[in-house]
Copies of this chain bind each other. A is one copy, B any other.
Amino acid sequence: MASSKNEKGKKVIIVGGGLVGALNACFLAKRGFQVEVYERRPDIRTQEVVKGRSINLALSCRGREALRAVGLEEKITGEGIPMFARMIHNLDGSKKSIPYGKRDQSIMSVDRRHLNELLLSAAEKYDNVTLHFNHKITRCDFEKPQATFLREDEGTTVEVPGDLIMGCDGAYSSVRQQLMKTTRFDFSQEYIPHGYLELSIPANKQNEYAMELNYLHIWPRNTFMMIALPNPDKTFVGTLFMPFKIFDSIKTNDDLMKFFKDKFPDSIPLMGEEALKESYFRVKALPLVSIKCSPYHVSDKAVLMGDAAHAMVPFYGQGMNCGFEDCLVFDGIMTKYKNDFSKVLPEYTDTRNIDAKAMCDLAMYNYIEMRESVNSKMFLLRKHVDNMLNWLMPNTWVPLYTTVSFTRIRYHQCISNRQWQDKVLKNTLWGSVYAAIIGGAFALRRTGVTMETIADVGKDLINNIFLKA
């Protein structure tokens, strides 16, 4: 039973030594649990090249608060690069910046691998944490609970009994697959038509950053886009997000150069033609998936966290932040119920599921906003209106991006907050539009423009600035 052992005798098996797994190890170690982390890959701290996932991430409020709780915030932000605004690259080479929030609010570009290494080393500093690499999970017995691992380097099998299995093994989680075999597990995975491919922008000839430093650079092109985040080594990591159809249609160096000259002309000198060709054709574009599931737990024996529970498309920069906040929310519930898993796990599902699902939806919404809406005058108008109302009513009118990235307001409340704002604005604006229609109808009567046309145009314009998610 939950209360029959003290925490020192209790063992948590964390499956996955990525960002969320390593951070969870710190949280649980602080609570006195015996923590064993099992990671499928070799120790990235000993590797030259690490495959897979995007190299740069944007750390914001939720992630920072979770790091702060285990004493790691300063160390990690000290090595990141703040980004105070988006820098929009237009097709004609002109640029404009759109701030993320107020003057002092920024999101932080951090290197995924370096962050993961820091977290693993931080976890390892606790006496009660052990890290096991090259361990691939093959089976979970949720009754005992017990996890079985294949040591891929030795070909041997290890059975690990414990008190809690924590699945932090990412979007393609094996723990979740085992959980799907239990009864009445809701699950969805949805791929978007876009894939992503990473490109590098090196330092310029003066060995300086080739673009303005403290920005998240965006080349929005409606149906696709490119972004770039700064690294401490004076390079930028660029990511191209496009429908696979477009990726597939670019087959030769000539196709590629024609495409970039048409769509991202200002980026070619920054990347260098040869480097662009080399990196574009070196790897295949990778898919992007949105995953939701429920419940996150099995009785008092197992729980899913991070991408294993809620993979999202990367367009809000909240994947890692949401995963880190998972650890913090879980930790809060652990305090509330004095580490009693039988109470903690159900409440974790109850409170966190609605928020993680909301964030998956918001990320999907921003998938359109980033490549499309940032190009639109109505989007900018809405930003201005939001900023003005926020200035007038700082505690009442907080823009969506701000609530998501710079507060810990629950994700589902960020959405309902925005929906309330939309409603207020819609009612106000529709009133004005109708007044304009009635006022203007007489003037336009002879031009052949019907009142329906005017109403439709008004509707289109206005719909453009409300949440479609």
Contacts and interface: CB of A to CB of B under 8 A. Distances in A.
Interface in A181-197: 183-191
A296 to B, nearest CB: 15
A287 interface: yes
7 contacts: A184-B191, A184-B287, A185-B189, A185-B191, A187-B188, A188-B189, A188-B190
Contacts of A188: 187-190
A391 B186 CA distance: 43
- Residue with the highest number of chain B CB atoms closer than 10 Å, among A183, A184, A287, A289: A184
A184 B187 CA distance: 15
The A interface is mostly helix, strand or loop, or mixed, namely: strand
B186 A190 contact: yes
A333 B402 CA distance: 51
A186 B186 CA distance: 14
A190 B188 CA distance: 8
Nearest to A186: B190
Which of A189, A287, A289 counts the most chain B CB atoms within 10 A? A189
Interface residues of A, number: 11
Interface string A170-187: 000000000000011111
A292 to B, nearest CB: 8
A416 B127 CA distance: 63
A185 B190 CA distance: 7
A246 to B, nearest CB: 15
Contacts of A185: 189, 191
A289 B190 CA distance: 18
Given A185-B191, A188-B188, 14 more contacts: A183-B191, A183-B287, A184-B191, A184-B287, A184-B289, A185-B189, A186-B189, A186-B190, A186-B191, A187-B187, A187-B188, A187-B189, A188-B189, A188-B190
A184 B247 CA distance: 15
A231 B190 CA distance: 42
Nearest to A287: B184
A187 B189 CA distance: 5
A186 B290 CA distance: 10
For the complex of A and B, list the 9 residue pairs with the smallest distance between their C-beta atoms, beginning with the closest.
A188-B188, A184-B191, A186-B190, A184-B287, A187-B189, A186-B191, A183-B287, A186-B189, A187-B188
A371 B188 CA distance: 27
A36 to B, nearest CB: 29
A183 B284 CA distance: 13
Contacts of A187: 187-189
Contacts of A289: 184
Contacts of A191: 183-186
Contacts of A183: 191, 287
Nearest to A289: B184
Nearest to A183: B287
A189 B186 CA distance: 5
A300 B352 CA distance: 42
A407 B370 CA distance: 44
Contacts of A189: 185-188
A124 B184 CA distance: 37
Nearest to A195: B184
A190 B190 CA distance: 14
Interface string A186-212: 111111000000000000000000000
Nearest to A286: B183
Nearest to A244: B184
Nearest to A189: B187
A188 B187 CA distance: 5
A194 to B, nearest CB: 11
A191 B190 CA distance: 18
A184 B285 CA distance: 13
A179 to B, nearest CB: 12
Interface string A322-344: 00000000000000000000000
Nearest to A187: B189
A189 B291 CA distance: 12
Contacts of A287: 183-184
Nearest to A288: B184
A412 to B, nearest CB: 19
A308 to B, nearest CB: 16
